[in-house]
Amino acid sequence: MSFEVKGIIPAMVTPMDKDDNINKKALRQLTNYLIAGGVHGLFPAGSTGEYYGLTIAQKKEVIETVIDEANGRVPIYAGAGMITTKDTIEVTKMAEDIGVDAVSILTPMFIRPSEDELYNHYKTIANSVDIPVLLYNNPARTGVNVSARLIERVSKIENIVGIKDSSGDMTLTGEFIRRTGDDFNVLIGKDTLILSGLVYGGKGAISSTANLVPELIVKIYEEYVKGNLEEALKAQYELAPLRLAFNMGTFPIVMKEGLKLMGIDVGNTLEPVEALDENKLSKLKKILEDIGVL
């Protein structure tokens, strides 16, 4: 593997114009803003990036743009999950061909695969490429919650190197860590639990709120690594109001509205998701002012 899986990796929003085309200028601006914030990697075309509404050609455009603008400064992890195994392999191979460092595979949504079916799904995908593969557990979005036993099994597949866990269940996250080896990397996907995950033995986080406040979230990680638990906890608590503000609108509109307030015009989310009303926008602005990014 050409890089170490660790640190804070923003799950990037996908900037779009009024016709739902990719806004590459804003995407390049966002890429530089995040790298300047000290992040340890970038994660385009994931759930925060509205992958579910992008064509494969648009995903390719997004990933290529981020790779080009990052220019080797940080590793690029690309979202490649689809519902079927064959479609996931198509996106995964596309991502490998254009030069990503790793892919992330979300558990299939809508269908309810058994544990053995999931194992075979992951194994077939991993065997189709030579790059590292991270799994992605997000039961609130997919309706499927992977078990610790399954993760123990798939951790033995050579190029499956970790998992992003957005379950919010620290007992489950802890079991992922306890039952796998040191070379398997568990990343937190629930931003209110980044420090908790690090204390448990996690390697970092793939974070949506990092779109807005990369420096603050990097501070949680860096202070923890330096042994400054009090400072890490202070940063984690400072982040909490922003993460809780996600409930003000349909995901991922709050991130996009916040970035526009900050001068990065990423456009709106794909319909049917609607913009925040003036009252909610005012509340979001106050949160960002309190954190110090406005």
Name the phi and psi angles at 200, rounded to 5.
-70, -20
160 annotated as a binding-site residue: no
Average pLDDT, integer, range 189-211: 97
Amino acid at 144: V
Burial group, residue 274, by CB count within 10 angstroms (0-12, 13-18, 19+): exposed
pLDDT at residue 71 is higher than 90: yes
3-state secondary structure of 149: helix
SS3 for 188? strand
Of the candidates 59, 164, 219, 256, the residue annotated as catalytic is 164
Which CATH number characterizes residue 182's domain?
3.20.20.70
Measured from the Cβ of residue 186, the count of other Cβ atoms closer than 10 Å reads 26
The answer to the question of residue 57 being in a domain is yes
Q: What percent of the chain has pLDDT over 70?
A: 99
Judge whether 20 lies within some domain: yes
Measured in degrees and rounded to the nearest 5, phi and psi for residue 185 equal: -110, 120
Domain total for the chain?
1
The reported pLDDT for the residue numbered 16 is 97
- Percent helix, strand and coil across the chain, each rounded to 5? 50, 15, 40
**pTM summary value:** 0.96
SS3 27: helix
Query: Is 33 considered catalytic here?
Result: no
Residue 67 lies in a domain: yes
Any domain includes 19:
yes
Q: Which residue has the tokens 């603008």?
A: 69
Q: Which domain holds residue 141?
A: 7-228
Q: Is residue 142 part of a domain?
A: yes
Burial of 156 (0-12, 13-18, 19+ CB in 10 A): exposed
Q: Which of 33, 51, 77, 136 is catalytic?
A: 136
278 found inside a domain: no
Q: What is the pLDDT of residue 2?
A: 57
pLDDT for res 181: 85
- Whether the pLDDT of residue 1 is over 50: the answer is no
pLDDT greater than 50 at residue 49:
yes
Query: What tens digit of pLDDT does each residue of 217-254 get?
Result: 999 999 999 999 999 999 999 999 999 999 999 999 99
Annotation says 136 is catalytic: yes
Would residue 23 count as lying in a domain? yes
Mark 213-238 as b/e (b = at least 16 C-beta within 10 Å). bbbbbbbbbbbbeeeeeeebeebbeb
Distance between first and last Cα of the chain: 39
Whole-number Å distance between alpha carbons of 220 and 70: 23
Phi, psi dihedrals of residue 138, rounded to the nearest 5°: -140, 75
**Digit-coded pLDDT (tens) for 151-169:** 999 999 999 999 999 999 9
Average pLDDT, the chain: 96
Determine, yes or no, domain membership for 16.
yes
Residue 94 predicted with pLDDT over 80: yes
Q: Is 192 annotated as a binding residue?
A: no
- Read off the pLDDT of each residue in 15-20 and give the average, rounded to a whole number: 96
- Which pLDDT belongs to residue 65? 98
The vertex-103 CA angle with 263 and 8, nearest 5°, equals 50
